[in-house]
Structure 1
Amino acid sequence: MTTDLLSPHSPAATSTGELAELDPYLNQVLARITVADATNIGYPRAIDIDYAALAPFLRFMLNNPGEPHGPDPIYPLHTMDVERRVLTWFANLFGAERGWTGYLASGSTEGTLHSLRLARAKLIDPLVFYSRAAHYSVLKAARILGLPAIAVDAAPHGEMDYADLRVKAARTSSRAAIVVATIGTTMTEAIDSVPAIHGSLDDAGVARRWIHADAALGGAPAALTGRTDFHLTRGGADSIVTSGHKWWGTPITTAPTLTVHQPTGDSRPISYIGNADTTIAGSRSGLAAVVLAHALTRHSLAGQRRRVEQARAVAGYACRRLTAIGWPYWRNPDAVTVMLRPLPEPLTKKWPLPVDGGWSHVICMPGITTDHIDHLVTDLQGGS
């Protein structure tokens, strides 16, 4: 009995260059994922963009080693030029002026870790303040970096309690502060106010600061529809990260990560890659740049805004349907996330919605339709 993932006699293992068929085991995995996708409305990923046209790129090992803003790497199968175009698009979206830097991280967890690392180097011995509603990766990043972290209370709807931030920051006002503003919390899609954070730090007497906007979920739709108070430079944020695999549903996790400060520390050229590297990953997915560029060019800026409006309209429809059947729910302003009481046990396998603090949610990302909502409501009413 072989323990290999692929049987030595499978089509995938014996392919000689033609398109290989999937191994039976991988076919089973594909079937499972396909079935699960039909009711996967509890976790944020758009499903309205088709990436099948990018299949020819899968022939190549696309690697972007080092920083995208320096010389291109010696390795020829890179997409640094594509990455720079994508980053420029996001720099414009998030109001970055001249002098910004950044790269495509593997996800917002890495992007936040990178941003906190830059903040630590600039501020020297800072404290991290984060909302109790922030993503769990914020505390993880602080621990990795050896930074003391202080939790700040959050309001019931998920937004940071700025009065609590002021009180806690005042206790250590001689220390520099890194504050993580969550632009779209994981469960409720609440948006922390960067101006209010600055106001709390001013009142607390904290002079040296860095505000990181963790905009993994809510940054893109908010910025596309005119919200600027968390932007780089004029909006008051020092760094920002957003997840491409959420709002654009890219089949590879990726997160544009930007800062208006030049990285400090070791940025010496590395001879064998022909580039400098202040990123965390080093070797980074060149395919991620391609899939995100494809997503951004499927629509004009006006079309990208329409995607936001359509998603919010579906969220509004979900609220009306839940009202009609008397199922408890609530929704933050302009959110595509609708909070609802947890589903009865028989439905939890079919509809794997996250639950936290006695509430669950559906997220009406682009591509989620009223049909999805109708299907869920029918099940809640005891239908098929």
Structure 2
Amino acid sequence: MTPRRLTAAALLAAAALTLGACGSSSGSGTTTLAPTGGSNKTVVVHSRNGGFDPAAIYRAAAPGVVTIRSILPGGATSLLGGGGTQEAVGSGFVLSTDGEIATAAHVVTDAQSGGGGPIHEAKAVYIQFADRNQVAASIAGYDPQADVALLKVDPNGLQLRPLPLGNSAAVQTGEPVAAIGSPEGKEQSLSVGVVSATDRSIPSLTAFQIEGGIQTDASINPGNSGGPLLDAGGRVIGINEQIATRSGGNEGVGFAVPMDLVKRSLDQLRANGSVRYAYIGVTTQTLYPQLAGRLGLPVDAGALVTKVIQGGPADDAGLQAGTQQIEFQGLKATTGGDVIVAVDGHKIVGDTDLPQLIAQHQPGDTVTLEIIRDGHTQNVDVTLGERPQSGH
């Protein structure tokens, strides 16, 4: 994944993936959006005949989108390569009139996609608003697991325009979206597209994946990182984070961190300055009907346990990993271990179901797994641990 922040020195070209509220509508084509917090102003998006109106979305949302300049620590190597002090440019958006700003964690740290050692905060962070005011910001906290950061500015003398937060669980493939940010350092730029897919797994700043990612063809380029992805009503449904590219530029495959995950992260960052995630300690392979038939399993969906992390929660609960490998339809499958088919009664069908179900819990919670072992169904209780920043 390519980072969507921009350094003053150079852009990274990579042949891989790089890090680049409630609404109501009426027949008049007016959508009223109420951001969280009683002191915040209401934003109104007037759409043409109730349709997608990028100009109206831009007029309403752009005042709440900011450009972020980060001075990275000396001697550190950033996502975009190089060492020594660097200036990185990204985007963000206003959360509240109290001075809260949301952005991507890699905009204000030297974090590496997929992990890669200690993470260092920027030495200094500056926020430039649409009205040309520019002020220093502090980092209230960052979450490398979701690539989310919470910044704080002194609101005195500023006219802050919070953006309303949407519900990413309701996002559907094909719906129109708009991205606002500072691609290539060009502030307050608008691009539009559609949601190309949902429930994507995308790299985080740790060894784990961000689940439920939103894929879009809206143009996202270096400097867009941390900016909002907006639905037709002007609600933020994700934080723009990275693109899949071979050239280092946008090729129509961009990704955003889903807003429901962002809100969870922001809540904990406000309260604690950091975020904890539940951890089960397994590596799995997705089961599909034809593979299930080949393996003679009594189910056609689930997660084949291919590895159990020693000393982890699943290991403590006695889960068993497969030890044999077969080749089927040109792919290798690890067999002979447990098959997880449900978590607390919620069936596992897709690739992201198991990690998303675990992520809904807190460390210390106990979940009941329905598993298939040696052809028989049984339940296993697992007390979840806390996810590390490395490992599985």
Higher relative contact order (CA 8 A, sep 6+): 1
Structure 1 length normalisation: TM-score?
Answer: 0.29
Between Structure 1 and Structure 2, the one with more helix by share is 1
Between Structure 1 and Structure 2, the one with more strand by share is 2
Structure 2 length normalisation: TM-score?
Answer: 0.29
